[in-house]
Amino acid sequence: MPMKVRLYSISLALLCAVLVAPLIAQAKPAVKPPVAKPAAGSEAAPPKKVSPPVSAPASESDDEADENPEVKSEAKPETKPEVESTKNESAPALVVTPPPADADEPQNHHYLRGGLMATNTYYIDPVINPGLFAGFYRPFAKYAYNEKYSATARGLLTVKHYIEPIGARQQTKGTGSFEILAAEAKYDRHTFTAGRSFYMIEQGLLFANFADGFGYTGRFPFGQLRGFATYSAEYGAAACALNVTGCNGDPGPFVNTPNLLPDSGVQNSGRRIFFAAEYYTPEYLGAQATAYALYSRDMISEDASRTKYAYHPWYGGLGLRGYIVNSNLRYRADMIYQGGSTYNLVLNGVSAPATISAMAALVNFTYNLPVLTQYDSQLTAEVAAGSGDADASRMTNASQSNTDGSYTAFHNFGSFSGGLALKPRLANLQVVRLGTYFRPLKPNFALRNLAVQLKYSYYRKSVAPGGISDPAATEASSDVGHAGDLAVTFNPMADLQFFWGFGVFKPGSAYPVLNFDGTDGQAWRYAHLISLTLIF
How far is the C-alpha of 335 from the C-alpha of 43, rounded, in Å? 38
Which CATH architecture best describes the domain 108-535? Beta Barrel (2.40)
Predicted local distance difference test score (pLDDT) of residue 143:
95
How far is the C-alpha of 160 from the C-alpha of 177, rounded, in Å? 15
How far is the C-alpha of 32 from the C-alpha of 279, rounded, in Å? 45
3-state secondary structure (DSSP) of residue 328: strand
Q: What is the 3-state secondary structure (H, E, C) of 359-382?
A: EEEEEEEEEECCCCHHHCCEEEEE
How far is the C-alpha of 316 from the C-alpha of 199, rounded, in Å? 17
Q: What is the 3-state secondary structure (H, E, C) of 72-101?
A: CCCCCCCCCCCCCCCCCCCCCCCCCCCCCC
How far is the C-alpha of 164 from the C-alpha of 166, rounded, in Å? 6
| Other CB atoms within 10 A of residue 181 CB | 16
pLDDT under 70 in the chain at which residues?
Answer: 1-108, 248-254, 265-266, 304-305, 347-349
Predicted local distance difference test score (pLDDT) of residue 393:
73
Predicted local distance difference test score (pLDDT) of residue 87:
39
Give Cβ neighbours of residue 393 (< 8 Å, ≥ 6 apart).
401, 465, 466, 467, 474
The DSSP letter of residue 65 is: H
Sort strands 479-493 and 378-386 into parallel, antiparallel or unpaired. unpaired
The DSSP letter of residue 413 is: B
Arithmetic mean of pLDDT over the chain: 81
The ranges assigned to domains in the chain are 108-535
Contact at 8 Å (CB) between 456 and 420?
no
Query: For residue 475, how many C-alpha atoms fall within 13 Å in the half-sphere facing its CB?
Result: 18
| H or E segment to which residue 7 belongs | helix 3-27
Contact at 8 Å (CB) between 389 and 359?
no
Contact at 8 Å (CB) between 408 and 357?
yes
- Give the residue among 163, 218, 164 at the shortest CA–CA distance from 187: 218
Predicted local distance difference test score (pLDDT) of residue 305:
60
Predicted local distance difference test score (pLDDT) of residue 153:
96
How far is the C-alpha of 21 from the C-alpha of 363, rounded, in Å? 69
| H or E segment to which residue 251 belongs | none
How far is the C-alpha of 93 from the C-alpha of 374, rounded, in Å? 41
- Whether cis (ω within 30° of 0) applies to the bond prior to 130 is yes
- Give the residue among 423, 441, 403 at the shortest CA–CA distance from 529: 423
